[in-house]
Structure 1
Amino acid sequence: MTTTEPRITVGVDGSAGSAAAVAWAADIASRRHLQLKIVHGLQIAGLYYGGGMSGIGATTLFEAVQAEGERAIADARALAASVDKDLVIVTELPNDSPVPMLIDESRHARLLVVGRTGTGGFADMLLGGTAASVVGHAHCPVAVVRGRPENTAAPETGPVVVGVDGSPNSEQAIAVAFEEASLRGVPLVAVHAWNDITYEDTRGTARIRTQPETLEEGEQRLLTERLSGWQEKYPDVEIRRQLVRDRPRNVLLGASETAQLVVVGCRGRGGFTGMLLGSTSQALVHHASCPVLVVRPEPVK
């Protein structure tokens, strides 16, 4: 059973990317008056497996790995406290692998935060399919904290950008994006990217849909409908609509270069279909120039 606690959880490993994630998570927790939980997976079992270690050697290894984990936790706590000295911080150092540990932690958090790179227990965490496993199976929204190409720290300027595709999960992303823009006091850029070229799965040949003007009118109507009512709920948020005939990954990656946060739904239709298993998600997780917040579907009650 999933029980959401009033807290934000961040996974740490002592790397620069991890530090950026901690600072970002601490700021969000402070803004929302939530508890911050800092976790680090020791992954001792993975170190022992197949190594034939026992006795003094195993004990020495365990002590070294635990000491490294304790340092990572201590450094993260100090960094978080420097963001807000009144922030309530708790820590945990379980003997678990990072991915299952973080997925389990997501059962009890409002938001799960991870950095863009990792070492030690979180080695290669955001490379290959591991990031998709965390983002794809978490039970709460997940933020992957990324900075500009020249800087690990998350950017503090720019608008919040939200990907809109008309799906129920997109609706949840819009809600989160409006709240984030309001909390930060910045404009919200609502992006709806569409493409009038589709591909035949069996033949791999392109075909162009007819009447593009009619299609564009429909896409414009969809974007307007999805944003309807939100301006009344958040009158302080300036809305900028962006309708683009292009692939979502191209548009969102471009928008991330000047944004401070990109918000997307976990799954969608059209260009966002299967985004956490395909090229769009991989592109955002690996190449976005700002944090990416992936909103999970609401649990069925």
Structure 2
Amino acid sequence: MSTPTTTPRPDEATTHGPDDLRPWLVVGDDRTDSAADVWAWVAAQPWSGWRVTAITARPREDGSPSDQAAPHAWHPEPARALTEPDVPVEHLLAEADPRVVLDGYDDADLIVIGPRGHGLLKRLHLGSTAEWLVSAHRPLTPVLIARSTEPVRSVLVCADGSPDALDAVRTLGSLPLLRDAAVTVMGVDTAQGDPRAAMIEAAHELRAAGAQEVRTFLVGAVPMTVSFDVRPTILGMIEKTEPDLVVLGTRGLSGLRRAVMGSTASAVVHHARCSVLVGRAGDRGQ
């Protein structure tokens, strides 16, 4: 995967006033059919009290730099809209690599994207936006990969006690959709940390945030030569329970080395058929 370069920042026309205190949702929208499905997922969820930005980022066909690389206001037709009157949608456009542009929104409370990017990225030999945002040292803010157009009614939370997983839980707790969803908190025993305590803490956080239905259970990971591999366990539970949304941290306490075995979060993003929310604590969790 090639590495994006300088991150363009939003220009002065996109700054916000008092509404900055509201939680901020940023949606990657390349205006393709798949992006329309992503927006359908967003529109199917409640967002009362949030502010929403739809950012369309696409590099030039020849890959050359543009003087319009920084996100700026535009008025697409048709405009994206939500049914809630108190949630206006801001539209921004940037002629730049969408991975770089979305990487610049590290102050957003949640970024929502689709599992695949625009075909132009492939033609320019660039990796997908989803792969980039869930790669090493990322995401810089929680990222949700949307794979449905329906309201979220069931959620599977993977709790291992790591700061990233706790950040993912707290992000879920901030979403209005939590109130109408049945939540299952799964503690994964990897022979490291205290999975039961992590499971209980996550369930407590979500109940305090307004979840009406939360159940918990512990499962064992697959023993390996030098560690326990949580990926088959998590993917197997996703297959069995068929949730609308899976929630996990990008780096856990599994003892896995990315260079050798890969990331659990990346595996779930690649193989799960449902939407996936990936948390990353970083400075947010300090």
TM-score by length of 1: 0.67
The 5 Å alignment of 1:86-101 reads 87-101=87-101
Q: What is the deviation of 1:158?
A: 4.0
Per mean C-alpha deviation after superposition, the further-off stretch among 19-28 and 178-187 is 178-187
**What whole-Å deviation, never above 9, does each CA across 1:194-225 have from its counterpart, x for those lacking one?**
356xxxxxxxxxxxxxxxxxx9xx85643455
Determine the structure 2 residue equivalent to 1:74: 77
Conserved? CA contact 1:165–1:271, under 8 Å: no
Per mean C-alpha deviation after superposition, the further-off stretch among 236-245 and 252-261 is 252-261
Larger radius of gyration: 1
**CA separation of 1:138 and 1:21: change in aligned 2, threshold 3 A:** same
1:283 aligns with 2:267: yes
Determine the structure 2 residue equivalent to 1:200: none
**CA separation of 1:256 and 1:184: change in aligned 2, threshold 3 A:** farther
Local SS of the residue matching 2:248 = strand
Conserved? CA contact 2:196–2:218, under 8 Å: no
**CA separation of 1:272 and 1:169: change in aligned 2, threshold 3 A:** farther
Conserved? CA contact 1:157–1:260, under 8 Å: yes
Distance 2:209 2:59 in 1: 44
**What whole-Å deviation, never above 9, does each CA across 1:255-294 have from its counterpart, x for those lacking one?**
445211111112221267759x924223222221211111
**Which residue identity lines up with residue 107 of structure 1 in the other structure?**
D
Distance 1:124 1:245 in 2: 42
Determine the structure 2 residue equivalent to 1:296: 280
**CA separation of 1:90 and 1:248: change in aligned 2, threshold 3 A:** same
Determine the structure 2 residue equivalent to 1:239: 214
1:230 aligns with 2:205: yes
Distance 2:256 2:153 in 1: 23
**CA separation of 1:167 and 1:176: change in aligned 2, threshold 3 A:** same
Determine the structure 2 residue equivalent to 1:142: 143
Conserved? CA contact 1:181–1:187, under 8 Å: no
1:102 aligns with 2:118: no
The 5 Å alignment of 1:12-51 reads 12-28=29-45, 30-44=46-60, 46-48=62-64
**CA separation of 1:98 and 1:284: change in aligned 2, threshold 3 A:** same
Determine the structure 2 residue equivalent to 1:259: 243
For 1:160, which of 155, 171, 174 is the aligned residue? 155
Per mean C-alpha deviation after superposition, the further-off stretch among 80-89 and 9-18 is 80-89
Aligned residues: 247
Q: What is the deviation of 1:172?
A: 2.0
Distance 2:64 2:203 in 1: 56
Distance 2:40 2:82 in 1: 9
Distance 2:123 2:129 in 1: 8
In structure 1, list runs of 5 or more residues that go unmatched.
50-69, 147-152, 197-214
Conserved? CA contact 2:251–2:264, under 8 Å: no
In structure 2, list runs of 5 or more residues that go unmatched.
1-8, 66-73, 222-228
Distance 1:157 1:225 in 2: 23
Distance 1:26 1:231 in 2: 23
For 1:173, which of 163, 168, 173 is the aligned residue? 168
**What whole-Å deviation, never above 9, does each CA across 1:99-125 have from its counterpart, x for those lacking one?**
111111x23422111111232455589
1:249 aligns with 2:224: no
Local SS of the residue matching 1:190 = strand
Q: In percent, how many aligned pairs have the same letter?
A: 27
